[in-house]
Chains A and B, each alone.
Chain A
C-alpha cells in the first residue's frame, strides 16, 4: 500500500464509528499509554505509596496489567493485518512554530513511536515479565516485611516505563535516552538495600561499567546524527536506509557526511561505537563484571533486569537497528565473536559457583552471548527468538530461586539446601521446566531457540566465514557446560537429602509466588512452538510463526526494510555483509546440539545426583580457583579504577596544588616582597629622592642610547 516504507497513517479513520474504530487501528493511538501507565505508577507509588495498601504494589500491578493488555492488543492488531505504525509524539528540540533551530539546522530532535512486529513482541515480553515480577514481589517483599516499599515499587514502575519507552523508540537518540534511564533504574533497584555495604557498591559498579559502554554509544549517536542528519530507525530518511543506499553502488545516495574516510570504514566505526553500549548493557565480555554483583538487589529485580529490561536492552538494540549492522561484515564478526566467546566464558564460571543466584547470573551472561552470536552470525530471527524464550525461562528461574530463597530464609548457598523437591513441589516442577529450557533439552522452549542460534551461525559460517565457525565452536562447547551447570544447580538445590535444618523445614510460599511460576513454567514448556526451526523441513516454513511474524507476513502492508527477509537480503548482498548460506538441513546440527546438552545434563547427573553429593569441582584444583575468582576480571577492573586512575588523579591534584597553584602563589609572594623592598625607597629624605631621580635619568639615557645606537 505504502511501498517499502510500510508506514501507515491513521488518516481517514475518523469517519468510522467510534466503537468500531477503537476496535481497529485506534489501538495505536493508545500505544503511548503502554509506557505511561508504569510512569504513572512510579509517581503514585513514590508519593502516595505510604498511604496505600501493599506499599504501592497495587498501582504497579494495575499499570502493568493495562500495559500488557494494550501490548497484546497491538500484537493482535498486527497479526490480523494491521501495518507498522510510526508517529512523532514530541519534539524535543526545535518544536516551536517557525523554530530558529529548524531554520538553521533543518532538523528537529524528536521522540516518537515505532511499532512493528519486533517492538510489539518485546512490549508484550516486558510488560508480562514486569507484571509477574510485581505479583511475585508481594510475596517476596511485602510478606517478608521489607521497609521502603513505596521506593521499591516506584523503582519498578520507572524501570518498566523506561524499558517500554526504549523498546518502541523510533530513533536512536530517544533510544539512548531511555537506555540510560534503564541504567539509572537498575542503579536504584540494585542498591535498594542501601543500609548494607554491598548493594550500593554493586549499584555503583553496574552504573559505572554500563556508563563506560554508553560513552561509546553516545559518541555513536552523535556521530550518526552528524553523518546522516537523522537518527530515525525506519523509513526512507532513516539512517539505516541512508547507510544502505550509501554502500549500495546501484543507488545514488545523498546527504551522507563522512569525516574524510570511506563510507564503509566510517559506518564500521559507527557500528562499533554503538556496540559499546550493547556490550555494557548486555554484560558481554569484557564489560560483564557488573552483572554478577548486581545480584545484591532483591531477587524479583534480578528477574526483571535479566529477563526483560536492562540486559535485554543491549541485544534488543542490535535487533532494532539490524538493517544497519547487516551492512557491516566486520561489526557482525565482532558481535558473533564476542557473543560466542562470552557464552563459553561465562558458562565456565557458572560451573563452580555456590550461590544459586550467582549460577543464574553467569548463565544470563552466557545466554545473552548466544543472542549476540545469533545476531552476529546472521540469524536475526534466531536472536530474537532466543531473546523471547530466554526472557521467559530466565524470569522463571530467578523467581524460582526467589521462592527457594524465601523458603531458605535468605540463605543462597546451594550446599546448604538439598531435598527441596518434595517440600516445595510447585517451585520444583516449574524450576525444572525452566532448567530444561535453559539446558536446551527437547521439547522445552530453549531447545528450539538455542538450536536455531547455533544452526544459523553454522550455516553462515560454512558459507565461507571462518570467524563465524570459531564463534560457533565456542557456542557449541558452551551447550555442554550449560547442561552441566544447570543441572548441578537443580540437583544440589532440590535433590538428595536436606543438608541443613532450614532445608529440612523450609518456609512455605504463598500464591503470589506460585502463580507467576506456573505461568512462566507453562510458557517454558510450550514456548518453542513459536518457531520450530529444527523441523523446518518437516512442518514447512510457513509454520515458523516467529519467522513469519518478523517477516510481516501477517500484515496488510509490506514490512519492507524492517522485515527479516529484507535483513537476509542485505546480509547476502555484496554491499552488505556478503554472507553466503549453505544448503544445510537444520536437523543434523539440531541433533548434535541436543546430544551436547544431554551430555552436559548426564555429567551433572553422574556427579551430583546422589543422596549426599560431594563437591566435585574441587578436583579442578587451581582451575577452580581461577573460575571462582572469575578469571580475575574484577581484580583488574578494580585496579584500573582504584589502582591506576585514582593514584593518577592524586598525582594530578598534587601537581595542581603544588605547581600550578604554586606559581600563582609565587607570583603573589614575589610581588609582595618586591613591594616591601620598594617601600624602603620611600625614606622621606629629599636628597635621597634627588639622587634616585638623577640615577634613573642616567639609566634611561643609557638605555635609550643603547637602543638608539648612539654607542
Chain B
C-alpha cells in the first residue's frame, strides 16, 4: 500500500497547493514533497524484491493488483510495484522534485499556487510511470506527464515558451501514438494467450513465442514492426539523434526547476521504457539490429557533444550534453552484459543527478545575473564563490571525473559495451563513443573559463552577491549525492544489478549462444 500512499499524498498535495494561496504555495509544496521522498526512501530501506519485475522469476516489491474493468477479452488492472530497475528511478524522482521545488523559491514569482501544484502533479505522474506494471495504467501516467509539463513550460517559460511547449507536446505525443501502435501490434499478435494487459504477462508471452500472426504479418515481422515502432516512440523521449530537436528548445524556454525535472527525470522515461519494452520484450530483434542501435547511441554521444561545443547559452550546452549522455545509456543497454545494462541504468540515475545539478546551478547564476549567455559575463567566482565552487565540481562530475557518479556510470557502460558479443565491432564503437569524454571537457571548461574566471564584468544596476542559502544548500545536497554515488556506486548498483541480471541470463545467454 505504500505505493498508493505515495501517489495519493502527492496528488492530494498537488490539489491542495493549487487551490491554496500563492503566499504559502512554495513552502507548502516543498513540505508536501518531503512525504513521497520519505516514502520512497522507506521503500528503499525495506526493499525485498528480487529479479526483474517483467520476467518469470521476478519478485515484485510493494505490489498491489486490483482488477479494474474489463475491456473485451482483457482485464485492466491497477497493478503497481517496483523492482531493482524502477526503485532507483523512483527515488531519483522524489529527490529531484524536492530539490527542484526548493530551487523554485527564488525564480518563480507569479501564479505560485498553480506552478507548485503542477510540479506536484508532474511528480505524481512520474512516480506512476515508474511503478505501473499494467500497460494501460502505465500509459495513463505516461501521457499524464505531458499535461503539467506543457503548462509549466507554456506559462512560466521564456520568450518563446508557446512554441517550445507546443513543439514538446506535439512531438512527444505523436511519439506516444507510434509507440502505442507498436505495443498494440504485439498485444493483438498475442491474441488469446493473454488475458490482461499487465506488462509481465505480455513480456512473458512474447518471450515464450506465443506471438501469432496479425494483419497478415508473420510473427517475426510483427516483432520487428513492433520493435521499430516502440523504438521510434521512445527515441523521441530519450532523445536520440535525429529526434532530439524538441529538447534544446524546451530546455531553453522552461524555467530552471522544470528543466531540472525534464533533464533529470523525463528523459529517463525514454530509456526506462526502452529497457522495459524493447530490450526486455524483444531481445532477439534488438540483437538483430544491434549494430544500428549502437550506432544510434554513438552518433547521439558525439553529435550531441559537438553541438554543445557551438552553444553560448549555458542551458543549451547542458541540454545538448544531455543528448550526449543519454547516448551512453543506449550503448550500454544494447550490450546485454551485466555492466552494460547495469551501467546504463546507473547512468540514468547519475545523469539525473548531475544534469539536475548543473541546470540548478545555471539557474542560481541566472537568478543573480539574468543572463545565461557565455560571453555576457565573466569572473563570477569573485562574487559567488560557493556557487561557483559547486558549479566547477559539478562540471567535472559531468566530465566523468573519478569518484563522482558520472565516472562510475560511464566506466561501467564502457566495460560492459566493450566486452559484448551482441554488437559487432563493439570495442571499436565503444572506443569511438568514449571520445565524448574529451569533447565534454572542451565545452564545459571553455564555458567555465569564460563565465566564472577573469575579472568580474557584468552590467547590472544592482549588486551581485552570494546566492541565497537555500539555493546553495540544494545544489550542495545534489553534489553530495553525486560524490556519494561516485565513491560508493554499490549503494544502488547492487539493486540495479539484481534487476537487470535476469535479463542478462535470459536474453544475453540466448543471444550470445549460451556463453
Which stretch of B17-25, B85-93, B426-434, B465-473 is in the interface? Answer: B426-434
Partner of B442, one of A184, A208, A223: A208
Q: Is the CB of A194 within 8 A of B489?
A: no
Contact: A101 with B411, CB < 8 Å?
Answer: no
B401 in contact with A184 (CB, 8 Å) = yes
Q: Which of chain A's residues have a CB closer than 8 A to the CB of B342? A: 101
Least CB distance from A101 to B in Å reads: 5
| Residue A211, interface by CB 8 Å | yes
Which residues of B sit under 8 angstroms from A653, Cβ to Cβ?
A: 307, 310-311
Closest to B402 in A: A177
B223 contacts chain A at the CB level, 8 A cutoff: no
Does chain B have a CB within 8 A of A595? no
In the complex, the chain A residue whose C-beta lies closest to that of B302 is: A652
Closest CB-CB distance, B166 to chain A, in whole Å? 8
Contact at A664–B434, with CB atoms within 8 Å?
Answer: no
Considering the complex, which residues of chain B in the window 154-206 have a beta carbon less than 8 Å from any beta carbon of chain A? 167, 170-171
Question: Chain B: which residue is nearest A177 at the CB level?
Answer: B402
Inter-chain contacts of B431 with A (CB < 8 A): 219
Contact A101 B434 (CB under 8 A): no
Question: Which residues in A have their C-beta under 8 angstroms from that of B74?
Answer: none
C-alpha gap A424/B460 in the complex (Å):
50
For B382, the chain A residues whose CB sits under 8 A away are 195
Given known A-B contacts A177-B402, A218-B434, A226 and B418 have beta carbons under 8 A apart: yes
B445 and A100 contacting across the interface, CB-CB below 8 Å: no
- Select the stretch in A86-94, A413-421, A585-593 that faces chain B: A86-94
Considering only residues 82-127 of chain A, those with a C-beta below 8 Å from chain B are 91-96, 99-101, 103-105
B39 vs chain A, min Cβ distance (A)? 24
**A250 interface residue (CB < 8 Å to B):** no
**Of A134-142, A196-204, A341-349, the one with at least 4 CB within 8 A of chain B:** A196-204
Known: A177-B402, A652-B307. A95 touches B430 (CB 8 A): no
Does A650 sit at the interface, judged by CB under 8 A?
A: yes
**Interface bits B404-447 vs A (CB < 8 Å: 1, else 0):** 00011001101100110000000100110011011001100110
Chain B residues contacting A199 (CB-CB under 8 Å) are 453
Verify if A656 is at the interface (C-beta below 8 Å from B): yes
**How many of chain A's residues have a CB under 8 angstroms from any CB in B?**
57
Is A222's CB within 8 Å of the partner chain B? Answer: yes
- Among the 9-residue stretches A72-80, A427-435, A452-460, A641-649, the one with 4 or more Cβ atoms under 8 Å from chain B is A641-649
Please tell me if B309 contacts chain A, counting CB pairs below 8 Å.
yes
Tell whether, in the assembled complex, residue A104 and residue B442 are in contact, meaning their CB atoms are under 8 Å apart. no
Question: Which of B100-108, B284-292, B491-499 contacts its partner?
Answer: B491-499
- From A181, A222, A652, A657, contact of B418 by CB (8 A): A222
Interface of chain B residues 266 through 311 with chain A (CB within 8 A): 303, 306-307, 309-311
Q: Which residue of A lies closest to B399 (CB)?
A: A211
Q: Which residues of A contact B446 (CB under 8 A)?
A: 204
Is B309 a contact of A101 with CB atoms below 8 Å?
Answer: no
Chain B's nearest CB lies how many Å from the CB of A454? 36
Does A2 interact with chain B (Cβ within 8 Å)? no
For residue A442, which residues in chain B have a CB less than 8 angstroms away from its CB? none
**Does A43 sit at the interface, judged by CB under 8 A?**
no
Contact (Cβ within 8 A) B307 A222 = no
Task: Indicate if A225 sits at the interface (CB-CB under 8 A).
Answer: yes
Residue of A nearest to B342 (CB): A101
Minimum C-beta distance from A624 to chain B (A): 32
Instruction: Say whether B453 contacts A195, CB under 8 Å.
Output: yes
Contact A641 to B338, CB < 8 A, known contacts A101-B497, A181-B402, A194-B452: no
Q: Is the CB of A219 within 8 A of B434?
A: yes
Chain A residues within an 8 Å CB radius of B412: 93
Is B437's CB under 8 angstroms from A218's CB?
yes
Give the interface centre of A93, A195, A648 by most chain B CB atoms within 10 Å. Answer: A93
**Segment 626-662 of A: residues with Cβ below 8 Å from B:** 641, 645-646, 648-650, 652-653, 656-657, 660-661
Provide the bound-state CA to CA distance between A208 and B310, in Å: 17
- Asked if A222 contacts B415 (CB within 8 A), the reply is yes
Looking at the assembled complex, report how far the CB atom of B87 sits from the nearest CB atom of chain A, in whole angstroms.
14
Chain A interface main SS type: helix
Give complex CA distance A645, B438 in Å.
12
| Chain B residues, Cβ within 8 Å of A657 | 245
The verdict on B501 contacting chain A, using a C-beta distance below 8 Å, is yes
Chain A residues within 8 Å of B453, by CB: 191, 194-195, 199-200
Q: How far is the CA of A222 from the CA of B430 in the complex (A)?
A: 10
CA–CA, A180 to B408, complex, Å? 13
Bound together, the chains give a CA A91 to CA B505 distance in angstroms of: 24
User: In the complex where A200-B454, A226-B427 touch, is A180 in contact with B402 (Cβ < 8 A)?
Assistant: yes
Q: Are B401 and A105 touching (Cβ within 8 A)?
A: no
A178 to chain B, nearest CB (A): 7
Residue of B nearest to A98 (CB): B494
Distance in angstroms between the alpha carbons of A207 and B171 in the assembled complex = 39
- Choose one: B245, B310, B403, B437; the contact of A652 (CB below 8 Å): B310
The answer for the CA separation of A197 and B454 in the assembled complex, in Å, is 5
Q: Are B418 and A212 in contact (CB under 8 A)?
A: no
The 0/1 profile, CB within 8 Å of A marked 1, for residues 54-77 of chain B is: 000000000000000000000000
Is B144 in the interface zone, CB < 8 Å from A?
Answer: no
Interface residues of A in 210-224 (CB under 8 A from B): 211-212, 215, 218-219, 221-223
A194 near B411: Cβ-Cβ < 8 Å: no
Complex formed: what's the CA distance from A661 to B381 in Å? 36
Are A92 and B442 touching (Cβ within 8 A)?
Answer: no
Report if B504 contacts A (CB, 8 A): yes
Within 8 A of A (CB), among B468-486: none
Q: Chain B nearest CB: distance from A651 CB in Å?
A: 8
**Which of A95, A178, A225, A648 contacts B402, CB < 8 Å?**
A178
Closest residue of chain B to A176 (Cβ to Cβ) is B402
Complex Cα distance A222/B418, Å?
7
Residue in A201, A204, A223, A645 whose beta carbon sits within 8 Å of that of B427 in the complex: A223
Q: Is B227 an interface residue (CB 8 A)?
A: no
With a cutoff of 8 Å between Cβ atoms, the chain A residues found around residue B310 in the complex are 646, 649-650, 652-653
Q: Is A668 an interface residue (CB 8 A)?
A: yes
Is A255 in the interface zone, CB < 8 Å from B? no
Contact A212 B438 (CB under 8 A): yes
Cα of A550 to Cα of B435 in the assembled complex, Å: 38
Q: Which residues of A contact B452 (CB under 8 A)?
A: 194, 200
A93, B418: Cα distance in complex, Å: 18
**Which residues of the partner chain B approach A249 to less than 8 Å between Cβ atoms?**
none
Question: What are 22 A-B pairs with beta-carbon distances under 8 A?
Answer: A92-B490, A101-B338, A101-B342, A104-B497, A104-B501, A105-B339, A173-B411, A177-B407, A181-B401, A196-B454, A201-B449, A203-B449, A204-B446, A218-B414, A222-B418, A226-B418, A226-B419, A226-B427, A650-B310, A653-B311, A657-B245, A664-B245
| Residues of B participating in the A interface, judged by any CB pair closer than 8 Å | 167, 170-171, 242, 245-246, 303, 306-307, 309-311, 338-339, 342, 379, 381-382, 396, 399, 401-403, 407-408, 411-412, 414-415, 418-419, 427, 430-431, 434-435, 437-438, 441-442, 445-446, 448-449, 452-455, 489-490, 493-494, 497-498, 501, 504-505
Known: A226-B427, A645-B442, A650-B310. 16 other contacts (CB 8 A): A92-B408, A101-B338, A180-B402, A194-B379, A194-B381, A194-B452, A194-B454, A195-B454, A197-B454, A200-B448, A208-B438, A222-B430, A226-B418, A649-B307, A652-B306, A656-B245
